Amino acid sequence: MATNNQRTLVLIKPNAVRAKHIGDIIKHFEESGLTLRRIKGLQMSEEFAGQFYAEHIGKPFYAGLVGFMTSGAVVAMELDGENAIQKVRDLIGHTNPAMAAEGTIRALYGNKENMTENAVHASANPDDSARELGLIFTSADAVLA
Confidence of residue 1 (pLDDT cuts 50, 70, 90): low
Per residue in 57-73, pLDDT (tens digit) is 999 999 999 999 999 99
Give CA–CA dist 12/14, Å, rounded.
Answer: 7
Ordered by where they begin, the domains of the chain are 5-136 (3.30.70.141)
| The one catalytic residue among 28, 56, 94, 121 | 121
Task: Please tell me whether the overall predicted TM-score, pTM, comes out greater than 0.85 for this model.
Answer: yes
What pLDDT band is residue 3 in, cutting at 50, 70 and 90? Answer: confident
56 belongs to the catalytic site: no
The answer to whether residue 2 scores a pLDDT higher than 80 is no
pLDDT value at position 12?
Answer: 98
For residue 85, give the nearest of 131, 137, 136 by alpha carbon.
Answer: 131
Is the pLDDT score of 19 beyond 70?
A: yes
Measured between alpha carbons, how far is 22 from 66 in angstroms, rounded to an integer? 21
